[in-house]
Amino acid sequence: MEWLGRASVTFTHPEDALELPRKAAKPVSDSPDSSASTVSLAQLCRDSTPTCQLNPLLFNGHLQTMWTAVAKSAPAIHYRRHIFQSVHDTYEGTFAVDFVVPPYDETEHADPVLPPRTAYFSDADFAELDKGSDDKRPMLLVLHGLSGGSYEVYLRHCLEPLLKKAAEAEDADDESADWAIAVVNARGCANSELTSGVLFNARATWDVRQVAAWAKEKFPNRPLFGLGFSLGANIMTNYVGEEGAACPLSAAVVVGNPFDLQVSNKLLQSTIIGRNIYEVFMGSNVKKLAFKHREALEKYSTLDFDRIGKVRYLYEFDRAVQCPTWGYPTEEAYYRDASSSDSVLAIRIPFLALQAKDDPIAVEAGIPYGEFALNPYTVLCVTSMGGHLSWFETGGGRWHAKPVSAFLHKLATEIDLKAVKRDQFDVNSNQRPGVGYQPMQRKMHIGKD
């Protein structure tokens, strides 16, 4: 059936999956036990995941992935941008956060320097937002993929259903369907100015941590959620793992996470298409990003632009930029240390990962199936087809938007998130006294924040 576009969908999780308490009179599924006071995280994920019917003409991961260069249509999401000053001693400088706002007249308000449908907040308007609120609207923090931004097509497809649910909500007083959304752009991405010597980093959890802390302070009653794509999925997984049971997010979703960066990189280099198309394409994008910010990088860092100018492949960029920036001896040391596969074991909030077996970039060989099968707070959903952040349906829709938005909506509207227990399981226990695995122990020393 797969050659007709019907992808199989499998779920990986422990038998004792986390039980989620329901809100009163909020049935979560059509299953026979829908009247029960709880529903398992695994069942909620299944209930959120529809049949995966993709475009039969895009019958493998390469075709799905490459079609993204052609299929540019996407929902018109409007943003207002604010520049945050980093409070981290080491990861200093500024970063841009794009907040979803109601549509506005682009001819009058859009900034020609910024991506489409994006304009800066006025000082007065952001000051009003910064006052905070005691509302209970769910709030979503989003991380994009490598060298991308809030404008990305795959990202906007996932945001539109959440915004539609708010518009279609029968009960206008039900704040749980009215989503507030903010996209945290990576340093220097989405036409943001670079004010330090640091671009993106696969372990760069500090900016999303700062925005989450800001949101928690300003909007103490809002449940916070996380959503990450590709490199942003790796960062989001690392962040949630680093925070553990103290994570300010109520739940998170990641899509197309490379998980094991070393494995993904090795497999990309081992094939003709991987090395000469994907590695070159991604290397070209990040190289352009570095040269776009050359003046700032030369001012704030000691990067060698003669060396960067010779970069052809992504791994060469990481060798020329990430290694000297962070003190890694090799790019493979960076990949091992920044990978998020071990972070899965440290997660203590409801967590869904969506992957495609035929993803040529976030390769299946890097997916930590065993870790997902061990941690009751996590569920792994894998489709047999879909490519990298693609999942194109006949007619141009993107299938991944359906399970992502449905899962987040069900959590926000039907689950009592405050009652979810975060100390219910000791995932990293060991039978030998005094012996235990520390999944978040890293080799890169990061200064105090």
For 298, other C-beta atoms within 10 Å of its C-beta total 13
**Is 65:11 a contact under the CB 8 Å cutoff?**
no
* CA distances, 22 to each of 111, 185, 272, 350, 415 (Å): 44, 34, 50, 14, 4
What is the rounded distance in angstroms from the CA atom of residue 364 to the CA atom of residue 383? 11
- For the four alpha carbons of 322, 380, 52 and 56, in that order, the dihedral sign comes to positive
Set 40, 230, 250, 339: catalytic member? 230
Set 359, 384, 390, 405: catalytic member? 359
For 22, other C-beta atoms within 10 Å of its C-beta total 20
Active-site annotation holds for 341: no
What is the rounded distance in angstroms from the CA atom of residue 390 to the CA atom of residue 63? 9
What is the rounded distance in angstroms from the CA atom of residue 351 to the CA atom of residue 377? 6
Active-site annotation holds for 359: yes
**Is 395:56 a contact under the CB 8 Å cutoff?**
no
Set 388, 390, 400, 409: catalytic member? 388
Active-site annotation holds for 30: no
Q: Determine the length of the chain.
A: 449
Query: Residue 253 corresponds to which tokens in the numbers above?
Result: 């979703």
Beta strands in 322-377 (DSSP E): 351-356
**Is 117:99 a contact under the CB 8 Å cutoff?**
no
Residues with catalytic roles: 230, 359, 388
